[in-house]
Homo-oligomer: A and B are copies of this chain.
């Protein structure tokens, strides 16, 4: 936060050809706010958080997102809500995509179940 309560979120986006990039915006006891930055074709495998609620909000680009058994091609302004215990994934970025990710409370290792294997949150 560097002493400021304000951030310009799109300016924090960063992409890497090898893997999806994460940037934390806020981390408190109650809340994690970050960016997941997907180059076209990148993915985040299906996983669930046992004791945390999470949502994705697509800020730019487009991605195919699954929550539970629902699948959507999600563009800017689409919010995907994954309550605790519900499996969710970014199946594929259809364009370079910047996705706001919010979790409450922030993830702890013991609260995550990956199905069948996957990257960090």
Contact = CB atoms under 8 A, between A and B. Distances in A.
Interface in A1-44: 1, 4-11, 25-26, 28-31, 33
Q: How large is the interface on A (under 10, 10 to 19, 20 to 34, 35 or more residues)?
A: 35 or more
Count copies of this chain in the complex: 2
Contact of A80 (B5, B55, B70): B5
A78 B8 contact: yes
A31 to B, nearest CB: 4
A70 B6 CA distance: 8
Interface of A: 1, 4-11, 25-26, 28-31, 33, 52-53, 55, 57, 59, 65, 67-68, 70, 72, 74, 77-84, 86, 100, 102, 104-105
